[in-house]
Amino acid sequence: MSSASTSANGGPEVRHARRVLITGLSSYWGGRLAKALEAFAEIEAIVGVDSRNPTTELERTEFVKVSNQHSLIQRIVSAARIDTVIDTRLVVDSIVASRREAHENNVIGTMNVLAACSGSSSPVRKFLFKSSAHVYGCEQDDPAFFTEPMSRSHRPTTAIERDVVEAEASVIDFAAKQPNVDVTVLRCANVLGPDVETSFSRMFSLPMVPMVLGFDPRCQFVHEDDVVHALEHAAIHRVPGVFNLAADGVLALSETIGLLGKRSAPLLPPWGTGMIAGPLRSLGLRIPDEMLNQLRFGRGLDNRRYKASGFEYGYTSRETVTALAEHLRLHPILRGIQQNYTYEGEVERFLRRSRLTRPPEQDAEDQSAAEREPFGI
C-alpha cells in the first residue's frame, strides 16, 4: 500500500493531518472531534459539513451546511485542499434516528462521502471512518473475543446492523480502489460516558436495569473520551487498517449494574423477548432490536491491534462504568447549570471574518479572536 502511494504522488506521504474535513459536524462525535482537533496547531484548517446546524461551540472550525450531495462535498474538498476526511456520521443506535433516516445517512451518505473523496485528482490522502462493532453481530456461536479479520457468523437481521455492514463494506471497497489513501476504520464497542446518549446509557439511567431472565451477558464498553482520542490518534499518525476500539476488560451485565449501584430486573422473558420488546417500547422502555441479542449473548472484542499501533486507552471498561455511575449520581444536581449552545451563522461568520475581531499586531500572541469584545462596539 505504502510503496504504491509514494510512487503515485511522487511526494512524501501525509502523516499528520493538516487540512481536515469532518462529516457529521453537528452530531455528537463530529462536534467533539472538531473541538479536540482545534487544539492541534499543526492542523491548519478544519472544515465541518452537516445538514443541520452545529450543536457545539467551535472556535476556528468552518461550518458548511450541506446535505449528502457528493458533488458539493467534492467541491469543498478540492477547493480547501483537504488531505484528511474524518467520517463520524454513522448512526449505530436506532434511538438516534428513524430507520429510514438511519439508512439514508449510513448507506447513501457513506457512498456520497466516499464518492467525494475518490478520483485521481482528489487531494485526500487519509480517510478515517468511525464504524461499530455491530459489523460482528452478536450470536450464540460467536467467539468470546472478536479480532479484526473475523467476519460475522450470521447475516445481519436488524436494520442498523445491515446498514453498518453495508457502509463498512463500501469503505473497505474504497480502500482497495484508492491505494494512495490511508483508510482507517475504527469499530467501536458500546460507548458510554457522561455526555453521549446511547441505548445502553439510557437503560443504565433507569432506576432498575432490565435483564433477560437466565442470562448474564458479557459487555465491553469504551469511554467517549477514548473514542475521540482514538480518532485524533488516527488523524495524527499513519495507522491504515481496521481496528477494534474497546476498553480493556469485559464485564458481566450484572457486574456492570452492581458498579452503577443499581438493581437488576430480570423481567424480559428468555423466550419471545422480541415480542415483549414491542409493548415495553410503548411503555417507555425502549430496547432497540440490535440490543436484544446483546442482552442475551453479549460481545467481546480483542483490542490489542489498536494498542499495538501506539494508542493508549484512558479508561478500562470498569472505569468507564464507574465514571458513568459518578455522572448519574451528580446529574440531577448539575442538570440546570450547563447552558445549551445555539448556532448563529451570522455571529460565527462575524467572529471569524470581521477585521474588528482580529487582534492588533502588538498583543496578537496573548489574545485569541474569540476573547476580544467586538460586541460592545
Partner 1 sequence: MADRRTSLAPSPTTGEDQDGSSLEVSERERMRSLLPAVEPDRTLDDWGRSERMERVFDATLVEFLYRYWFRAEVEGIENVPAEGGALLVSNHSGALPPDAAMIGKAIRDEHPLPRPLYMTVEHFFKGYPGFSMLIPKIGGVAAHPANVHRLLFDEHELVLVFPEGRKGTEKLVKDRYRVQRFGRGGFVEAAMRGQAMLQPVCVVGAEEAAPVFAQSKLLQRATGLLYFPITPTFPWLGPLGMLGYLPAKFRIRFLEPIDTTKMGANPAEDKGLVQSVAQEVRARIQESLHEMVAKRKSVWLG
| Residues engaged in binding partner 1 (CB under 8 A) | 140-145, 147-150, 212-216, 218, 248-252, 255, 270, 296-297, 300, 302-304, 307-308, 316, 318
- Closest distance between partner 1 and the C-beta of residue 100, in Å? 32
- Closest distance between partner 1 and the C-beta of residue 318, in Å? 6
Q: How far is Cα 252 from Cα 31, in angstroms, rounded to an integer?
A: 32
- Closest distance between partner 1 and the C-beta of residue 153, in Å? 9
- Closest distance between partner 1 and the C-beta of residue 266, in Å? 10
Closer residue to partner 1, CB minimum distance, 59 or 148: 148
Closer residue to partner 1, CB minimum distance, 51 or 254: 254
State the pairing for strand pair 251-252/218-219.
Answer: antiparallel
Closer residue to partner 1, CB minimum distance, 119 or 270: 270
Quick one: three-class SS letters along the chain?
CHHHHHHHHCCCCCCCCCEEEEECCCCHHHHHHHHHHHCCCCCCEEEEEECCCCCCCCCCCEEEECCCCHHHHHHHHHHCCCCEEEECCCCCCCCCCCHHHHHHHHHHHHHHHHHHHCCCCCCCCEEEEEEEHHHHCCCCCCCCCECCCCCCCCCCCCHHHHHHHHHHHHHHHHHHHCCCCEEEEEEECEEECCCCCCHHHHHHCCCEEEEECCCCCEECEEEHHHHHHHHHHHHHCCCCEEEEECCCCCEEHHHHHHHCCCEEEEEECCCCHHHHHHHHHHCCCCCCHHHHCHHHHECCECCHHHHHCCCCCCCCHHHHHHHHHHHHHHHHHHCCCCCCCCCCHHHHHHHHHCHHHCCCCCCCCCCCHHHCCHHHC
- Closest distance between partner 1 and the C-beta of residue 295, in Å? 11
Closer residue to partner 1, CB minimum distance, 48 or 300: 300
Closer residue to partner 1, CB minimum distance, 33 or 135: 135
Q: How many residues does the chain have?
A: 377
The CA-to-CA distance between both ends of the chain, in Å, stands at: 55
Closer residue to partner 1, CB minimum distance, 78 or 322: 322
Residue 188 CB neighbours (<10 A): 25
Closer residue to partner 1, CB minimum distance, 94 or 317: 317
Closer residue to partner 1, CB minimum distance, 59 or 255: 255
Closer residue to partner 1, CB minimum distance, 36 or 325: 325
- Closest distance between partner 1 and the C-beta of residue 154, in Å? 12
- Closest distance between partner 1 and the C-beta of residue 238, in Å? 19
Q: How far is Cα 325 from Cα 329, in angstroms, rounded to an integer?
A: 6
- Closest distance between partner 1 and the C-beta of residue 183, in Å? 19
Closer residue to partner 1, CB minimum distance, 240 or 249: 249
Q: How far is Cα 298 from Cα 142, in angstroms, rounded to an integer?
A: 10
Residue that is written with C-alpha cell 432490536 in the block: 289
- Closest distance between partner 1 and the C-beta of residue 141, in Å? 4
- Closest distance between partner 1 and the C-beta of residue 285, in Å? 20
